[in-house]
Structure 1
Amino acid sequence: MIIVLIGYMGSGKSSVGKILAKKLNYNLIDLDDFIEAKEHATVSEIFKTKGEIYFRKKETEYLKTLLQLKENTILSLGGGTPCYGNNMDVILNTEHATSIYLKGSLSFLSKKLFKKKAKRPLIAHIETETLLKDFIAKHLFERSQFYNKAQIHIVTDHKEKSEIVEDIILALF
């Protein structure tokens, strides 16, 4: 089985994915890390040198490749991955894949991300929590139609990572 974690930045895809993979004894692949290794450049560098269209095409190509894996795998996607091209439909139509939306509320995500914005190039320039909340609200509005297609929804607000992992396991098995 491939467990595909989707959700907005800060929702816990990477950190929850690590704990879940360890608990289930699954492989863990972060799509952005996979792309960086294959392209020999960071996501930011790819955007700057080759553009977003190139990145999105490669993202789709690598997503399709990883969805063909036969090993039990946790696949953590970038926040935008399900929203481009037909990526979400590809995930949903992969027989041995289960998609899980790690759903954080607007206020929870904005508070969490504001504290860590320096580590996030997409939002590092945003100066106030109000402006960040507006930024996230716009993204969530645009992306929710894709995220909501996931087979399983797990609310992450005010939960420990271990609690989220337990919720996922209960929903899967």
Structure 2
Amino acid sequence: MKKIVLVGYMGSGKSIIGQLLAEKLHLPFYDLDFLIEKEFQKSIMEIFSDEGEVFFRKKEHEIFKKMIENDESFVLSTGGGTPCYANNHLYLQNHPVYSVYLKASIPVLVGRLKNEIAKRPLLHNLSDEETFDYIAKHLFDRNYYYNQCKFNVATDEKTPEEIVAEIEQLL
């Protein structure tokens, strides 16, 4: 059984890398945000808006835990905050999981997220300068959890294919 869980800040490439990696390894691919949206028939933005972040994090934990504890092999991309709440980082350490932190620099993350701010509940009300500062602070706060992963893969200036190849070598 092989469970590969991709962790990283929003915009780090978890979904794209996850899809490519799953295809290459002939495993199913799951996106935790999509699983949550499917269960609630709402976008993440709507869940945050209607129910609040605490509700969202509780449901995120429940679905994450269920995925980690099932007997299926897969590649799973998590939300940017997943490992930082409800001791989810401990699930990555205490279960047979290959956890991979996709590490991107702040300027790269800001560049990638610039065009997606409307879809990102935590960024949608921020100016460009506020976005940079927010990401810098958030990334600093979350680094402890991200660095609990078994593997760290720097993603700056690499193609998705190069990142997938690097992850394959680590596994």
- TM-score bracket, shorter-length normalisation: over 0.9
TM-score by length of structure 2 reads: 0.93
Distance 1:112 1:42, change over 3 A: closer
Unaligned runs of 5+ in 2: none
Q: Matches of 1:13 and 1:94 in 2, distance apart? A: 20
**What secondary structure, in the 3-state scheme, does the structure 2 residue paired with 1:157 have?**
coil
Distance 1:100 1:37, change over 3 A: same
Aligned pairs (5 A) from 1:83-162: 83-95=84-96, 97-128=97-128, 130-162=129-161
Q: Is the 8 A contact 2:5 2:76 kept in 1?
A: yes
Q: Matches of 1:131 and 1:29 in 2, distance apart? A: 31
1:20 aligned onto 2:21: yes
The alignment covers a number of residue pairs equal to 170
Q: Matches of 1:131 and 1:47 in 2, distance apart? A: 20
Q: Alignment RMSD, CA only? A: 1.4
Q: Is the 8 A contact 2:45 2:120 kept in 1?
A: no
Q: Matches of 1:108 and 1:10 in 2, distance apart? A: 9
Report the AA paired with residue 19 of structure 1: L
Q: Matches of 1:86 and 1:37 in 2, distance apart? A: 24
Distance 1:121 1:51, change over 3 A: closer
**What secondary structure, in the 3-state scheme, does the structure 2 residue paired with 1:67 have?**
helix
Offset of residue 26 of structure 1: 0.6
Unaligned runs of 5+ in 1: none
**What secondary structure, in the 3-state scheme, does the structure 2 residue paired with 1:10 have?**
coil
Report the AA paired with residue 19 of structure 2: K
**Sequence identity (%):** 45
**What secondary structure, in the 3-state scheme, does the structure 1 residue paired with 2:6 have?**
strand
Q: Is the 8 A contact 1:27 1:71 kept in 2?
A: no
Offset of residue 114 of structure 1: 2.2
